[in-house]
């Protein structure tokens, strides 16, 4: 725990691990369908990989700072990383217990048998060797490495390798598991109503004597190397930033190592040898299980097609206002709000479709943070260009892990005549906004969409997000100024209604919090309610502590990490914070202030993180429409009352569940679905 101007402050990287604990809680929850539990195993693994590639990597960069300066600044990255690694080790032990002691036996009860290597060899060796000859022979290659000496062997980022030891301990073998070229899990046999599935790794292990015919094999251990995910680019303004990023993507495969994950059964001497061979430090070495890359369980097969093993299907809700109508007429009359995944992303898609073919539409402007590889949305934008519309696309070329695809689509749009704007060197564009200019009665009318999630149909099925359609003149005028900033036509947008980072968001939120502080000190009702993904900004946390001390009632939902520590006497006793982890990823951001009885609400893309307030272009919309205010408010109230999938943020970070009221059980994602279904069906 750190001090922040005499206030306690939890390090984000420590608290992030607490968030991943909540993911494991879902994997351990036997009330979840079996394949949902496997999904959470995969999410945990995927989260942890990114954590090492991004967060731990940044901590490792601190080691490059001059030692005397590190001492002066009290920076001790190695000690801190060791603390993180201890927590990660405990989590991985828990993961192993959940998977091998609970999930694998439960799969077997449903006739899905995940074979161990020995079981594969004893029962289905013939089938496994046949599979190897037919599907893997040309893909699997072996390599000999001299032990205890630095070698020029290169392990690709995130790939699984088998490290093979021999009686002759002066060398060892390396075999890459071709998981990218083939499925990780192989349905090897079916007998007596049972389906036998094995790891691809174990099929390869059966062939090791043939891959190393001249050696006597003594052991085989799974290993994986994670590399730094950041792209370290020169920050000068000249030149094409997108080209620099595209050329630098190779760093993703040959960047600095951040974690060497190995089978904990590997002998100490072998670990020492491989560390020397790869030029790694002791802190790079992380013990794991016999199998890695559990995020592959996203694709674990269900040969039984048993619906009881999966989450029940939620049929998408038809929106009462946008159902089968001309969107321009509907939005012009009244703001409309959509909710994913309970409603289809098709509503956004259809609006862009109509814009691309409508004779009166002259211009479309959109910001794309994560572009889908292939999508109807990109097709519609190309159709708009074909139909003579002016299309401006801002492509965020620095969206981590999506740079290559984003730049690819930016170049396609350019080739078809769009004005494409790429990232600025020192700032990301994280806003999810769309502006359509339509000529009506000889004047240009603006229509807008402002969302909390990306323009991505695939992720809209797993992320809980909100999207606002509006033709409000005040809001759309401000949004047009945002795009002028992106186009380089304005330096400061001077917005009066939208909150726009890095220009007005911080100042507006700080003013609103101070207003609540003043009200509380005057003995008036004062309350702040907010839902976000992460809470990290020191300035906002300071103000929230002060608000709590002044008597402001603060109710927060923070899904991920939080550097604010709630429920501390005389500091944050008026702050109560929960986190909802359930079937879908909670991703919406909603902020509500009591405002002396005239409540204000904002919805958009920004968390209360320094990067979202100061280093990204973000957009949050005020909710002016009374019906939509009520709808968002009631949804927020349902989430605040979750007592099934909500955990409490505590000073101890032990993730206790909110106490369940047997007479009033609230699982918010299910209740929000019911709420929206009842409301919209009643109006159709």
Last residue in a domain, options 494, 517, 552: 494
Last residue in a domain, options 494, 526, 557: 494
pLDDT confidence of residue 245: 42
**pTM (2 d.p.):** 0.89
pLDDT confidence of residue 238: 39
Host domain of residue 164: 141-184+199-303
pLDDT confidence of residue 385: 95
Q: Could you tell me where the DSSP H helices lie in 442-537?
A: 473-486, 505-521
Q: Is residue 280 part of a domain?
A: yes
Helix (H, G, I), strand (E, B) or coil at 42: helix
Judge if 508 and 485 occupy the same domain: no
Tokens of 258: 């951040």
Judge if 177 and 283 occupy the same domain: yes
Judge if 352 and 422 occupy the same domain: yes
Q: Is residue 136 part of a domain?
A: no
Judge if 146 and 283 occupy the same domain: yes
Helix axes 34-50, 12-28, angle to 10 degrees: 160
The question of whether 141 is a catalytic residue gets the answer: no
Q: What's the structural domain count of the chain?
A: 3
Q: Is 9 annotated as a binding residue?
A: no
DSSP lists the bridge partners of residue 285 as 260
Beta strand 600-604 with 589-593 is antiparallel
Dist CA 520 CA 532 (whole Å): 24
Q: Is 370 annotated as a binding residue?
A: yes
Tokens of 286: 């992380």
DSSP lists the bridge partners of residue 196 as 113, 189
- Do 299 and 273 form a contact (C-beta atoms < 8 A)? no
Q: Which of 430, 466, 594, 680 is catalytic?
A: 430
- Chain position carrying tokens 């929230």: 544
Task: State the virtual CA torsion across 427, 430, 432, 434 in degrees, nearest 10.
Answer: 10
In tens, the pLDDT along 320-348 reads 999 778 999 999 999 999 999 999 999 99
Q: Is residue 20 part of a domain?
A: no
Task: State the virtual CA torsion across 179, 182, 183, 189 in degrees, nearest 10.
Answer: -120
Judge if 469 and 517 occupy the same domain: no
Q: Is residue 665 part of a domain?
A: yes
Q: Is residue 134 part of a domain?
A: no
Q: For 90-215, list the strands marked E by DSSP.
A: 112-114, 142-146, 160-166, 171-176, 185-191, 194-199
Judge if 472 and 433 occupy the same domain: yes
Longest dimension (CA), the chain: 86
1 burial (CB, 10 Å; 0-12 / 13-18 / 19+) is exposed
Q: 174 Cβ partners below 8 Å, 6+ apart?
A: 142, 143, 144, 145, 153, 155, 161, 162, 163, 164
For the domain that residue 208 is a member of, what is the CATH number? 3.30.1840.10
What are the Cα distances from residue 388, in Å, to 281, 415, 417, 419, 562?
58, 14, 9, 13, 48
Judge if 582 and 665 occupy the same domain: yes
Dist CA 136 CA 175 (whole Å): 12
Q: Is 446 annotated as a binding residue?
A: no
Judge if 473 and 564 occupy the same domain: no
355 burial (CB, 10 Å; 0-12 / 13-18 / 19+) is buried
What are the Cα distances from residue 178, in Å, to 141, 200, 247, 290?
9, 9, 26, 17
Q: Is 514 annotated as a binding residue?
A: no
pLDDT confidence of residue 399: 44
pLDDT confidence of residue 623: 98
Last residue in a domain, options 468, 494, 520: 494
pLDDT confidence of residue 54: 75
Q: Is residue 632 part of a domain?
A: yes
DSSP lists the bridge partners of residue 8 as 3
Q: 242 Cβ partners below 8 Å, 6+ apart?
A: 395, 397, 407, 410, 422, 423
Judge if 333 and 299 occupy the same domain: no
- Chain position carrying tokens 């999410």: 43
- Do 370 and 409 form a contact (C-beta atoms < 8 A)? no
For the domain that residue 429 is a member of, what is the CATH number? 3.30.870.10
Q: Is 559 annotated as a binding residue?
A: yes
| Among 653, 673, 676, 681, residue whose Cα is nearest residue 312 | 673
In tens, the pLDDT along 100-152 reads 999 999 999 999 999 999 999 999 999 999 999 999 999 999 999 888 777 77
Judge if 348 and 447 occupy the same domain: yes
Judge if 439 and 529 occupy the same domain: no
CB atoms within 10 A of CB 542: 18
Rounded to the nearest 5°, which phi and psi values hold at 571? -125, -55
Residue ranges of the chain whose pLDDT lies below 70: 1-6, 57-78, 180-182, 229-255, 371-374, 397-405, 423-426, 684
Q: For 498-588, list the strands marked E by DSSP.
A: 499-501, 527-532, 553-558, 575-580, 585-586
Q: Is residue 35 part of a domain?
A: no
Dist CA 143 CA 506 (whole Å): 55
pLDDT confidence of residue 69: 42
Q: Is 400 annotated as a binding residue?
A: yes
Helix axes 34-50, 77-96, angle to 10 degrees: 160
Judge if 473 and 558 occupy the same domain: no
Q: Is residue 59 part of a domain?
A: no
- Do 577 and 563 form a contact (C-beta atoms < 8 A)? no
Quick one: residue 305, left, alpha or beta (phi over 0 = left, psi -120 to 50 = alpha)?
A: left
| Among 430, 434, 412, residue whose Cα is nearest residue 356 | 434
């Amino acid at each position: 725990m750190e001090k922040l101007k005499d206030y306690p402050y939890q390090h984000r990287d420590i608290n992030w691990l607490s968030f991943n604990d909540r993911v494991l809680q879902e994997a351990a929850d036997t009330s979840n369908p079996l394949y949902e539990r496997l999904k959470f195993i995969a999410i945990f693994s995927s989260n942890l990989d990114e954590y090492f590639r991004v967060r731990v990597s940044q901590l490792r960069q601190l080691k490059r700072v001059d030692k005397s300066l590190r001492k002066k600044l009290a920076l001790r990255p190695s000690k801190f990383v060791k603390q993180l690694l201890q927590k990660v080790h405990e989590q991985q032990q828990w993961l192993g217990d959940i998977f091998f002691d609970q999930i694998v036996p439960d799969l077997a009860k449903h006739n899905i048998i995940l074979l161990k290597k020995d079981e594969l060899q004893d029962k289905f060796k013939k089938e496994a060797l046949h599979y190897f000859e037919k599907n893997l022979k040309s893909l699997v290659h072996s390599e000999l490495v001299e032990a205890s000496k630095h070698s020029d062997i290169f392990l690709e980022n995130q790939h699984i390798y088998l490290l093979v030891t021999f009686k002759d301990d002066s060398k060892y073998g390396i075999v890459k598991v071709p998981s990218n070229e083939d499925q990780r899990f192989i349905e090897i046999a079916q007998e007596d109503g049972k389906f036998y599935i094995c790891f691809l790794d174990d099929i390869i292990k059966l062939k090791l004597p043939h891959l190393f015919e001249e050696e006597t094999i003594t052991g085989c251990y799974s290993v994986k190397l994670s590399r730094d995910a950041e792209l370290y680019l020169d920050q000068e303004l000249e030149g094409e930033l997108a080209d620099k990023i595209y050329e630098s993507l190779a760093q993703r495969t040959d960047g600095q190592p951040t974690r060497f994950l190995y089978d904990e059964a590997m002998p100490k001497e072998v670990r020492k040898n491989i560390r020397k061979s790869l030029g790694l430090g002791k802190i790079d070495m992380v013990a794991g299980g016999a199998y890695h890359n559990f995020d592959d369980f996203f694709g674990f097969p269900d040969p039984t097609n048993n619906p009881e093993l999966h989450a029940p299907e939620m049929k998408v809700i038809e929106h009462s206002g946008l159902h089968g109508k001309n969107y321009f007429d509907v939005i012009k009359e009244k703001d409309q709000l959509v909710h994913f995944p309970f409603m289809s992303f098709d509503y956004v898609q259809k609006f862009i479709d109509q814009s691309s073919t409508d004779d009166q539409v002259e211009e479309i402007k959109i910001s794309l943070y994560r572009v889908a590889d292939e999508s109807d949305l990109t097709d519609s934008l190309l159709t708009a260009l074909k139909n003579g519309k002016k299309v401006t696309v801002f492509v965020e070329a620095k969206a981590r892990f999506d740079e290559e695809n984003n730049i690819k689509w930016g170049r396609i749009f350019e080739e078809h005549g769009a004005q494409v704007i790429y990232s600025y060197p020192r700032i990301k564009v994280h806003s999810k906004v769309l502006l359509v200019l339509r000529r009506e009665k000889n004047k240009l009318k603006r229509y807008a969409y402002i969302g909390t999630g990306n323009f991505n149909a695939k992720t809209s099925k797993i992320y809980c997000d909100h999207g606002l359609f509006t033709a409000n003149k005040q809001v759309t005028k401000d949004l047009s100024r945002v795009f002028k900033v992106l186009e380089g036509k304005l330096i400061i947008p001077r917005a009066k209604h939208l909150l726009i980072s890095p220009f007005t968001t911080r100042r507006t939120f700080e003013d609103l919090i101070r207003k609540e502080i003043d009200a509380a000190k005057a003995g008036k009702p004062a309350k702040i309610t907010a839902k976000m993904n992460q809470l990290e900004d020191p300035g906002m946390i300071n103000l929230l502590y002060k608000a709590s001390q002044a008597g402001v009632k603060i109710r927060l939902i923070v899904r991920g990490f939080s550097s604010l520590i709630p429920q501390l006497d005389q500091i944050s006793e008026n702050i109560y914070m929960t986190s909802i982890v359930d079937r879908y990823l909670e991703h919406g951001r909603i902020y509500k202030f009591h405002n002396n009885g005239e409540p204000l609400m904002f919805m958009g893309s920004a968390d209360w993180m320094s990067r979202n307030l100061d280093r990204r272009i973000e957009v949050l919309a005020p909710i002016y429409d009374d019906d939509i205010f009520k709808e968002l408010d009631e949804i927020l109230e349902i989430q605040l009352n979750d007592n099934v999938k909500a955990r409490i943020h505590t000073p101890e970070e032990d993730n206790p569940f909110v106490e369940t009221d047997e007479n009033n059980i609230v699982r918010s994602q299910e209740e929000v679905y019911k709420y929206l279904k009842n409301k919209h069906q009643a109006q159709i």
